[in-house]
Amino acid sequence: MVKYEQKGETKIQALIIVIVVIIAAGVAGFWYMTSMQKPKVEEVKVGVVMPLSGPVAEYALHSRRMVEMLFEEYNAKGGVKSLGGAKLVPVWADDKGNPSTAVSEVERLITVEKVSVIFGAFTSGSTLAIAPICEKYGVPLVVMTAFSEKITRQGYKYVFRSHVTTTPYINSMMDFIIKKLKPKTIAHVYEDSVWGSTNAEITKKWLENNAPDVEIVLWEGYSRKPPIDLTALVLKIKEAKPDVLICSSYLQDAIVLMKTMYELDCYVPNIVAIGAGFTDPKFIQEVDKLASGVFVACYANYDNPRVNAQEVIKAFYNKYGYWPTGDALATAQDFQVLVDAIERAASTDPKDIYEALKNTNIPEEEGVLYPVKFDENGDNVYAFSYVTQIQKNDKGELEWFTVWPEDYATRSIITPLLPYEDRLKDP
Amino acid sequence: MIPSKNLAENKLLLLLTFVILVVLPFIAQSPLLLHLAILVYLYIIISEAWNLIGGYAGQVSLGNAVFFGVGAYTAVLLYLNLNINLWVGLIIGIIFSAVLSAVIGYICFRLHGVFFAFATLAVAEVFKLLFIIRKDITQGPMGVVLPYKGDSILDVSFASKTPYYLLTLAFSVLAILTVSYVSKSKLGYYLLAVREDEVAARSVGINTVLVKIIAFTLSAILNSIAGFLYVTYIRYIDPYVAFGLDISLIQALLTIMGGAGTVWGPVLGTVILIPLLELFRVYFVKFSGINYMLHGALLMIIILLMPQGAISIVRRLIKWLKS
Amino acid sequence: MDGFLIQILLRGVLVGGMYALLSVGLTLIFGVLEIPHFAYGDVMMLAMYTCYWLQVFTGASLFLSIIIVFPLYLALGFILQKFVVNKIMDKPELSKMLFMVGFSLFLQGLALFVWTADTRFVKSELQNIYVDIGGGKISLTYIVNFVMAMLFFAGFYLWLQKTFMGKAIRASAQNKDLALVTGINIHKIFLVSFGIATVMSAVGAVLFAPIYYVGPFVGLELTLKSFMIVVLGGLGSIEGALLGGLIIGVVEALSSYLLSSEVKDLSALIIFLLVLLFKPKGLLGKEVRE
């Protein structure tokens, strides 16, 4: 019996040794694999985080196409010249519109892919969530498209946003509303993520400080998770009877909102949308004549007269067959800042790119939408916004026309909105 | 547990493994490896937690996410709104979870089997919706971001992964020790009795409701701790992640795959599956969905062929070795 | 404002009717096969994607999709029962449930892989045609799809009442051992029940799709909702599924009218929990099951 015990125990010992060796080999393998990810100087890796699939993907598509186009063009024109023509390589990450997915993707981009800079994340929610990660690792975050000023008010040093953020945007839009539409009562419905909620906060504050006589009759958030049901909300709007209804909506909810308002016979004299869903071509496609006369505040519009803007706008149109949205144009401005900093840094080290970003100074003639210089929060002091209105063009189709600021207006405003029967009539 | 004639040798082995694990982050500098390990430890905590109520007591709960979410949110909301130290928030979260589990248990344990499972699932959904609706308190779907303002133990905030690694390792050992202790105690005996035949257990004088509630409460406490660890590591939480079916399901699935009702089953299940799933996610970004398919297929296979879990294979292997 | 109440209630009833068709299959599966079919909604999800693909690749109308979906999912139901579900018929209840959970995960992964996480929409040609009711407009989709759902439901009910197979199935649901003694081929019963239940839910899903959305995780939502409805109505009761569906439909519509859309789901869940805890047999429940 002693023999058997000894045999059994040696077998176990042998097995244990085998297991330990396997684990050790596995660990060594990981170590090797992950430390081999050093980027070569022939390329500069940029981590691109945005919704590539999921509920927001459809709406983010235009910015995504803009990013793809700009990367291609940039490399075609010779890549990063200060690094001898090194390729600018986008490392794509899909956050599916979820902040938690964005967080784990950025962890992966920074620790595994070893990117030099993060470009993302399109939605305010995801961008806000990844900012502390970038800050922690000391990898600069060039904000792509995201709007909420919460992102740049956390005291992070590594966050840079070149397109306009909430406060100046809202100032411009509310200025327009008060001066041109002169409402006595006002309402705001907003989707309840970081973006919509920040909008609601800032617009309310603006009214309290600058137009306290205008009565706030409704200020309510709604959920964007499908299936989107805005019945109760629209009934509240109908009861509140605002002169101006402000909407902070992404694409699908914008469509549902307009349709539900029609279905429940809810008429308001003026609708002013804060960009987003209302700037999407699909919005006009789905909602058709119901959209006629709606005001849409935006980052920029494709009738923008700036030469650099038109260059990008025409390139986009030639490649994809439709005019870029305001989001896509903001993305183009963000991209310009990104490559400008990389060129000046002449390095793949995130710290160098950070320093370059801090010192960004893109003059008036070169900026896509405006000159760029960052304040202590990481926002561009020169950024501003526009307001457009959806009107019929010469062919009778609905399009966005810039109507504010007045120096940039290509059409004059039509107010109030036509009642539904008139709107739906064919001319 | 690995049956071994020489108990001392077994304990030595465990201690050796533990020492290696503790020293690991100081030798291997790979953030990916540490990240995987942290995830494994986190999932060990919740799978051992589920093991208590689902494995030993035989009550399939699909709503343990409630306690995970309560643990995470309590700590974070108290910290951000009332400046209460996160560690204190951990304790308060545990207390909340324990009380909640007693209440929910008391109400739901009159149901059995599938009905109990669906009831717990519904409770988790209710919590998810409540946290979404009351955005004034919880920030709703926006979620809560834990800011990074530099390294600090008091704020549980670190740039390096090593402190998180050690923290989660420590608590996972705690979870394993808890289950080990319970399994050898009278409570463990009662739980098995309830699992096998509740009516019979009651007839011999076991207070089955109390016994189930105790298991549920222990399960809740462990989940609460895991929630705290999760949010202090990932620095973000929202109602979908906190109370989602993902968390509730995976703790059940890992335990079942490894071997429910055994001390090491959940560990085995977690150590095998979690790195696999995570690596799939990281390296096969293009093949989204394959890890769900893998997970589902494995579960079906296990139920069909190895209902005792992977640990039964390990046991047979060891028996063969001893022959 | 009352005008809107009528419109809202009407909408609730119309949706409720579709819910009834969606969930009636589950009550049959529970009653006859005694399987907690966790993947019930995921098969429905596949039906919705099938309809989506038909629309994208052939521009087929919704109703044409039904003609294609019907035989397809009847066959799929048979196949699933024979090759998947059959394997666990003898296992303990919880094993059955966990097995179906695994199957559900598998289907979700499949959908994610094939169609990605993008949200898709199925359109009905009648979507933009409105009917004026009660001070507002309701899209014709609701009305027509409700009528179709009720037709299928009625057909199903009659089939169960009048045909030999239907009666055999009902007998098995009531008392399996007795049915076996009378010489009914129990395997055939299982096969047919599962197949019919699957196709009913598939048709229901296609009718429901235009007013919902299509995504890889829709299955879970639909499974939970179906389970709520059949528990409310009483497991094993066909009429119960109709009643349960209508109640949930109306409760949801009223909550979204009076409160908000988020509260809509909450109300349904709370009613479900109350029923589970205090009247687990449901409103019209016949079975004396645990």
Given C8, C116, C139, which is nearest A53 (Cβ)?
A: C116
* A358, A411, C234, C243, C270 from C240: Cα distances, Å: 67, 61, 6, 5, 19
Contact B294 C266 (CB under 8 A): no
Of C22, C13, C11, nearest to C241 (Cα)? C22
Q: Does C4 touch chain A (CB under 8 A)?
A: yes
Cβ atoms < 10 Å from Cβ of B36: 17
Contact A58 C119 (CB under 8 A): yes
Q: Find chains touching chain A: ≥3 CB pairs under 8 Å.
A: B, C
Report chain A residues touching chain B, CB-CB < 8 A.
5, 8-9, 11-12, 15-16, 27, 30-31, 34-35, 53, 92-94, 98-100, 103-104, 107-108, 111-112, 125, 128-129, 131-133, 135-137, 154-155, 192-194, 197, 221, 223, 225
**What is the maximal distance between C-alpha atoms in chain A?**
102
User: Do B150 and B157 touch, CB atoms closer than 8 A?
Assistant: yes
CA distance B111 to B105: 10
Higher pLDDT, residue C75 or A10: C75
Residues in chain B: 323
**Per-residue pLDDT for A13 more than 90?**
no
B151-157: Cβ within 8 A, 24+ apart: B154/B85, B154/B86, B154/B87, B155/B86, B156/B86, B156/B87, B156/B232, B157/B232
Q: Which of A224, A235, A238, A424 to mutate to probe the C interface, most C CBs <10 Å? A: A235
What does the angle CA C138 – CA C141 – CA C144 come to, to the nearest 5 degrees?
105
Model pTM?
0.86
Dump pLDDT digits (tens) for B194-206: 988 888 888 888 8
Q: What is the pLDDT averaged over residues B247-269?
A: 91
Residue C236, token pair as written in the block: 């094993």
CA distance A325 to A279: 6
Q: Does C210 touch chain A (CB under 8 A)?
A: no
Higher pLDDT, residue B271 or C129: B271
User: Do A369 and A330 touch, CB atoms closer than 8 A?
Assistant: yes
The reported pLDDT for the residue numbered A2 is: 47
Phi/psi region, residue A276 (left: phi>0; alpha: psi -120 to 50; beta: rest), is left
Higher pLDDT, residue A271 or B282: A271
The reported pLDDT for the residue numbered C280 is: 78
Dump pLDDT digits (tens) for C87-119: 888 888 878 888 999 999 999 999 988 988 888
CA distance B175 to B169: 10
Confidence of residue A272 (pLDDT cuts 50, 70, 90): very high
Residue C145, token pair as written in the block: 């799809």
Tell me if the bond preceding A416 is cis, omega within 30° of 0: yes
What's the burial of C167, exposed, middle or buried (CB within 10 Å: 0-12/13-18/19+)? middle
Dump pLDDT digits (tens) for C161-170: 898 888 888 8
Phi/psi region, residue A275 (left: phi>0; alpha: psi -120 to 50; beta: rest), is left
The reported pLDDT for the residue numbered B5 is: 44
Report chain B residues touching chain C, CB-CB < 8 A.
58, 60, 107-108, 110-115, 117-119, 121-123, 125-126, 129-130, 132-133, 245, 249, 252-253, 256, 287-300, 303-304, 307
Q: Does A232 touch chain C (CB under 8 A)?
A: yes
Strands B144-145 and B236-237 turn out to be antiparallel
**What is the C-alpha R_g of chain C?**
19
Confidence of residue B108 (pLDDT cuts 50, 70, 90): very high
The reported pLDDT for the residue numbered C125 is: 76
Residue B180, token pair as written in the block: 């080990």
Dump pLDDT digits (tens) for C41-64: 999 999 999 999 998 888 878 888
Of A148, A98, A88, nearest to A119 (Cα)? A88
**What is the maximal distance between C-alpha atoms in chain C?**
60
Q: In Å, how far is C120's CA from the nearest CA of chain A?
A: 9
The secondary structure element, H or E, covering residue B236 is: strand B236-237
Q: Where are the beta strands (DSSP E) in A133-261?
A: 141-144, 159-160, 185-191, 215-222, 244-248
The reported pLDDT for the residue numbered B286 is: 66
**Per-residue pLDDT for C2 more than 70?**
no
- Percent of chain A whose predicted confidence (pLDDT) is above 70: 93
Residue C270, token pair as written in the block: 């709370």
Q: Which residues of B touch A197 (CB under 8 A)?
A: 135, 142
Listed in sequence order, the residues at least 6 apart from A314 whose beta carbon sits closer than 8 Å to its beta carbon are: none
- As a CATH number, domain C3-278 is 1.10.3470
User: Do A137 and A158 touch, CB atoms closer than 8 A?
Assistant: no
Confidence of residue A4 (pLDDT cuts 50, 70, 90): very low
The reported pLDDT for the residue numbered B32 is: 81
| Residue type (1 letter), B160 | S
**Per-residue pLDDT for A427 more than 70?**
no
**Per-residue pLDDT for C290 more than 50?**
no
| Residue type (1 letter), B52 | L
Domain boundaries, chain C: 3-278
Domain assignment of residue B40, given as a range: 4-322
CB pairs under 8 A between A and C: 61
Listed in sequence order, the residues at least 6 apart from B317 whose beta carbon sits closer than 8 Å to its beta carbon are: none
Dump pLDDT digits (tens) for A29-40: 666 655 555 555
User: Do A135 and A158 touch, CB atoms closer than 8 A?
Assistant: yes
Written in H, E and C, the secondary structure of A113-129 is: CCCCEEEEECCHHHHHH
What does the angle CA A316 – CA A318 – CA A320 come to, to the nearest 5 degrees?
65
CA distance A408 to B168: 58
Dump pLDDT digits (tens) for B62-76: 999 999 999 999 999
Dump pLDDT digits (tens) for A312-335: 999 999 999 999 999 999 999 999
Provide ipTM, 2 decimals. 0.86
Provide the domain count of chain B.
1
The reported pLDDT for the residue numbered A34 is: 58
Q: Which residues of C touch A230 (CB under 8 A)?
A: 261
Dump pLDDT digits (tens) for A114-145: 999 999 999 999 999 999 999 989 999 999 99
Q: In Å, how far is B265's CA from the nearest CA of chain C?
A: 17
3-class secondary-structure state, position A54: coil
Q: Find chains touching chain B: ≥3 CB pairs under 8 Å.
A: A, C
Average pLDDT, chain A: 89
Higher pLDDT, residue A5 or B29: B29
- Phi then psi for residue A287, to 5 deg, are -100, -20
Confidence of residue A237 (pLDDT cuts 50, 70, 90): very high
Q: What is the DSSP string of B176-215?
A: HHHHHHHHHSHHHHHHHHHHH-HHHHHHTT--HHHHHHHH
Q: What is the pLDDT averaged over residues B291-314?
A: 85
CA distance B148 to A380: 23
Confidence of residue B167 (pLDDT cuts 50, 70, 90): very high
Q: Which of A157-161, A408-412, B83-87, C171-175 has the lowest mean pLDDT?
A: C171-175
A93: nearest CA partner in chain B: B285
CA distance C259 to C262: 8
Contact C118 A53 (CB under 8 A): yes
User: Do A403 and A389 touch, CB atoms closer than 8 A?
Assistant: yes
Of A229, A422, A400, A393, nearest to A298 (Cα)? A400
Eight-state DSSP code of residue A222: E
Confidence of residue A1 (pLDDT cuts 50, 70, 90): very low
Residue C277, token pair as written in the block: 């805890």
Q: Which residues of A touch C220 (CB under 8 A)?
A: none
A111: nearest CA partner in chain B: B31
**What is the C-alpha R_g of chain A?**
25
**Per-residue pLDDT for A294 more than 50?**
yes
The reported pLDDT for the residue numbered C261 is: 67
Written in H, E and C, the secondary structure of chain C is: CHHHHHHHHHHHHHHHHHHHHHHHHHHHHHHHHCCCCCCHHHHHHHHHHHHHHHHHHHCCCHHHHHHHHHHHHHHHHHHHHHHCHHHHCCCCHHHHHHHHHHHHHHHHHHHHHHHCCCCECCCCCCCCCEEEECCEEEEHHHHHHHHHHHHHHHHHHHHHHHCHHHHHHHHHHHCHHHHHHCCCCHHHHHHHHHHHHHHHHHHHHHHHHHHCCECCCHHHHHHHHHHHHHHHHCCCCHHHHHHHHHHHHHHHHHHHHHCCHHHHHHHHHHHHHHHHHHCCCCCCCCCCCC
- Phi then psi for residue A300, to 5 deg, are -175, 165
Task: Tell me the residues of chain A between 335 and 394 that have a Cβ less than 8 Å away from chain C.
Answer: none
Dump pLDDT digits (tens) for B28-60: 777 888 888 999 999 999 999 999 999 999 899
Q: Which residues of B134-170 are buried (b: 16+ CB within 10 A; e: fewer)?
A: ebeebbbbbbbbbebeeeeeebbbbeebbbbbbbbbe
The reported pLDDT for the residue numbered C30 is: 87
Beta pairing partners, B137: none
CB pairs under 8 A between A and B: 93
Of A54, B279, B85, nearest to C213 (Cα)? A54
Q: What is the DSSP string of A342-398?
A: HHHHTSS-HHHHHHHHHT--B-TTT-SSS-B-B-TTSBBTT---EEEEEEE-TTS-E
3-class secondary-structure state, position B238: coil
User: Do A19 and A96 touch, CB atoms closer than 8 A?
Assistant: no
